[in-house]
Amino acid sequence: MSEPTSPATASDRVPLISDDSAASHEPLTSQQDDSQQVEYRARILSFSGRSSRLKGRQKDAWAELGPKYIIETPRAQARTSVANDATLDIAAAFGREGAPTIIEIGSGQGECVANAAAARPEANFLPVEVYSPGIASTLYRIRRMGLENVRIIQADAAEVLGRYVPDASAAELWIFFPDPWHKSRHHKRRLIQPAFPPKAARVLQEGGMWRLATDWLEYAEQMVEVIDASPYFDRVPDQGRFEGRVLTSFERKGLEKGRVITDLTYRRNSVPVSAADREAIAHEDDYVRPESLGTHSVSEDAQN
């Protein structure tokens, strides 16, 4: 199992950055106004600030298809943030009422969500991804397959589930092959932590399904430990591979290396999300100054 989470420092934080472009990774700094000094999310992010620059056809696809398929998400301070008072209107985004909504966190190149959307045109598919090249690839697939039931959110998944998606609005939540952050010192960056199930519980309808998959056995064990401990979910045993999850190039590479795939399924029960958990979610993304973390240093891979 994972080692105990170590105290976070500024090197684990992600600074406030501009929203000027999808490829911007520069922090906002000011030497004149103390109120404009760099601030950091109080929560450690599960993704790093790798390059999101678009090239050639990617830029063309973004310009052509982005206005229709990428939801314009109101921002707070950081580029991947969601404004505190923002609420997604799912019916308006998809142009229809009453369709079941399936959220995929970390949709990557869009292989899984595009194939699922083609197989289930009656459902809304809402992939959440932070990396622009992956979104551009998803846009390619949407155009090639003629899909009308996919809309994309480019934002931090924890904030999307924590406040942007309305309560009890999702029929399913998919998290397939999240970054395992395999080094022990990086385990604190993993998406599936004790603070995450209340967010998943908030957006899922009673009876809704939470589906996960990983090719990292130790992370699978952590997922089971964390979600089994949540009062909001009941594990569905012995489900095997989820038939709606297509074999992606990422999974194929893992299998070729001899990795074992673990599929997990949980059902949202009737326990309401507690007031304490809602309060914790509300303040998890507060911003703090670097001096409160004891250092002003920020590692390059933490910038986003």
Instruction: Express each pLDDT in 185-221 by its tens digit.
Output: 868 889 999 999 999 999 999 999 999 999 999 999 9
- Report strand pairing: 204-214 vs 170-176: parallel
User: Which one-letter amino acid corresponds to residue 300?
Assistant: E
Looking at residue 73, its pLDDT comes to: 95
Whether 299 shows a pLDDT value over 70: the answer reads no
**Is 39 or 164 the better-scoring residue by pLDDT?**
164
Share of the chain above pLDDT 90, in %: 60
Tens of pLDDT along 5-28? 444 444 343 333 333 333 332 222
Active-site residue set: 179
Looking at residue 43, its pLDDT comes to: 62
pTM above 0.75, yes or no: yes
What confidence tier does 58 reach under pLDDT thresholds 50, 70, 90?
Answer: confident
Domain annotation for the chain: domains and CATH numbers: 51-284 (3.40.50.150)
Looking at residue 40, its pLDDT comes to: 54
Q: Give the Cα separation of 200 and 211 in Å (integer).
A: 11
List CB contacts of 254: < 8 A, sequence separation 6 or more: 177, 215, 261
Q: Calculate the dihedral angle through the C-alpha atoms of 167, 170, 171, 176, rounding to the nearest 10 degrees.
A: -130
Q: Phi then psi for 209, rounded to 5 degrees?
A: -105, 135
**Number of Cα atoms under 13 Å in the Cβ half of residue 247:** 6
DSSP code for 161: I
Looking at residue 17, its pLDDT comes to: 30
Q: Give the Cα separation of 174 and 152 in Å (integer).
A: 14
Tens of pLDDT along 153-195? 999 999 999 999 999 999 999 999 998 877 888 688 899 999 9
